[in-house]
Amino acid sequence: MVKSVVIKLVTPVWMLFLLVACGEPDPSAPIESSASYTAETEEKMLKLVAAQLNQQLTERAVAIHSRVITLDTHADINTENFTAIRNYTQDLDTQVTLPKMQAGGLDVAWFIVYTGQGPLNSEGYEAAYANAIDKFDAIHRLAEEIAPDQIEIAYTSDDVRRIVAEGKKVAMIGIENAYPIGLNMDRIEDFHTRGGRYMSLAHNGHSQFSDSNTGEPDMDYLHGGLSEMGYQAIAEMNRLGIMIDISHPSRDSIMQTIGVSRAPVIASHSSARTLTNHTRNLDDQMLLALKENGGVVQTVAFSSYVSEARRSFIEEGREKLRRSVAEELDHKILDPSASSQLSETERQEYDAFMADIDARIAPRVRTEVMALAPPATVSDFVDHIDYLVDLIGLEHVGMSSDFDGGGGIEGWNDASESLNVTLELVRRGYTEGEIEMMWSGNLLRVLDDVQQISAEIQAENR
């Protein structure tokens, strides 16, 4: 099914030049010098041509956007917005709703079963599991009870294409942090049965499965990459057909994962570290390994992951506030080499101190730092796409937003603005086929590969 869009016919640009060059002079117009006439005419002509070109590009982008399947691999949720009274059929103040998806021509949203990292004990695991089930249930409630006529859950790429052809929006489910699995590996299959089609082994904090990227600044790690349970989880995800998401784990964990996974992996919401030096982004070595593995990196529209100017401004401002507050409290912030020498007890005390500092400065970071930081734009976002395409090839690049989880940039700040991404890609010279691959084709190809390898593994084990 083609999304409806109105296309207007426009005058070819070469005709504008012809009209300007050959137009009849107005006999009643005042006589102007040749130089004046040429300068003013040229300026008008250039403005007219620029407007005409922009209109043509916009209309081409609209047409392409209406034909391709547009897919965003990361949209966080709050289950309070998935009730009979308050839900995504309404135009809520969230970045993703069904009306916003419709307005922006966004076909597929991966809703995220996210769990923050907590203590690695039985109480922590059970609380995390309850949180995860609450989110699984909310997504199913939206698609199966609240708005089954507007949105449906997809489990395969064929499902995606069928649901889009029927004129409905598509929900898919990603799991951010395997922490809720606890020590019960059977829960991985439980999550697959509930519709989870990708899962990351860690988030912001080390899990029982994997170290997190957040350990990098102080080189503070728990496992040295993957734990033994992490290796077991990868094998189980390969068996079940769950894509492994490498966006949040540590560098060592990522490289180990790519090394042992039989199936392609994804980075569900990461960008290029060479352009923006954030630990959540992938460096060239990781990207080349992902290419060799056959995976895909879903470039993320998160402002401090796609704009180095914004990232560095925020980081420097936050660090100044940290040191200022620490000085007021007569405490000292340690450099990584000093903090690494702390005993376990000292480390716990220091981490608690830093958490308190960050909590104290959080409101000021928002008002005194982030509000003044240079903005990140759709152009910055597509700069990352260009870099990734040049380095690892277009077939390994996709797109994501991280909406309602901190994502959003000028020009793509909610689902209703999704067309602006296609427009910038058209301006950069990408073809319809290439745009289709990046919006959905590459990610769905990896899903197909992962599910095919799952079938092969299960056949081997019969």
Strand, helix or coil for residue 25:
coil
Span 187-215, average pLDDT: 97
More reliable by pLDDT, 157 or 44: 157
Structure tokens that stand for 118 in this block:
């907590």
Tell me the C-alpha distance between 363 and 153, whole Å: 38
Q: What confidence score (pLDDT) does residue 200 get?
A: 98
Residue pair 313/369 in contact by the 8 Å Cβ criterion: yes
Which residues neighbour 436 within 8 Å (Cβ) at sequence distance 6 or greater? Answer: 64, 67, 68, 69
Tell me the C-alpha distance between 19 and 66, whole Å: 33
This prediction has a pTM of 0.88
**Residue 6 pLDDT > 60:** no
Under the banding of pLDDT at 50, 70 and 90, the label for residue 24 is very low
Tell me the C-alpha distance between 419 and 411, whole Å: 9
Under the banding of pLDDT at 50, 70 and 90, the label for residue 3 is low
Residue where the block lists tokens 């043509």: 56
Question: To 5 degrees, how large is the angle CA 354–CA 357–CA 359?
Answer: 110
Under the banding of pLDDT at 50, 70 and 90, the label for residue 11 is very low
**Residue 53 pLDDT > 70:** yes
Strand, helix or coil for residue 56:
helix
Which residues neighbour 361 within 8 Å (Cβ) at sequence distance 6 or greater? Answer: 318, 321, 322, 325
Number of Cβ atoms within 10 Å of the Cβ of 428: 15
Tell me the C-alpha distance between 51 and 385, whole Å: 26
Tell me the C-alpha distance between 253 and 343, whole Å: 24
From first CA to last CA, the distance across the chain in angstroms is: 40
What single DSSP character describes residue 417?
G
Share of the chain above pLDDT 70, in %: 92
Tell me the C-alpha distance between 31 and 78, whole Å: 68
Q: What confidence score (pLDDT) does residue 81 get?
A: 98
Span 199-209, average pLDDT: 97
Q: What confidence score (pLDDT) does residue 315 get?
A: 92
Strand, helix or coil for residue 243:
strand
**Residue 30 pLDDT > 70:** no
Beta bridge partners of 409: 412
Tell me the C-alpha distance between 62 and 56, whole Å: 10
Tell me the C-alpha distance between 228 and 275, whole Å: 33
Residue where the block lists tokens 């540590």: 250
**Residue 10 pLDDT > 50:** no
Tell me the C-alpha distance between 147 and 73, whole Å: 21
Under the banding of pLDDT at 50, 70 and 90, the label for residue 220 is confident
**Per-domain residue ranges of the chain:** 67-307+375-460, 309-374
**Residue 2 pLDDT > 70:** no
| pLDDT tens readout for residues 289-298 | 999 999 999 9
**Average confidence score pLDDT of the chain:** 91
Structure tokens that stand for 165 in this block:
């052809």
Torsion of CA 346, 350, 353, 358, to 10 degrees: -160
| pLDDT tens readout for residues 269-289 | 999 999 999 999 999 999 999
**Residue 25 pLDDT > 50:** no
**Residue 364 pLDDT > 50:** yes
**Residue 20 pLDDT > 70:** no
**Residue 45 pLDDT > 90:** no
| Domain covering 67-307+375-460, topology | TIM Barrel (3.20.20)
Under the banding of pLDDT at 50, 70 and 90, the label for residue 226 is very high
| pLDDT tens readout for residues 312-352 | 999 999 999 999 998 888 888 888 778 778 888 888 888 88
Tell me the C-alpha distance between 134 and 143, whole Å: 15
Tell me the C-alpha distance between 322 and 332, whole Å: 10
Tell me the C-alpha distance between 5 and 69, whole Å: 15
Span 441-445, average pLDDT: 98
Residue pair 173/110 in contact by the 8 Å Cβ criterion: yes
| pLDDT tens readout for residues 245-271 | 999 999 999 999 999 999 999 999 999
Q: What confidence score (pLDDT) does residue 185 get?
A: 98
Under the banding of pLDDT at 50, 70 and 90, the label for residue 35 is low
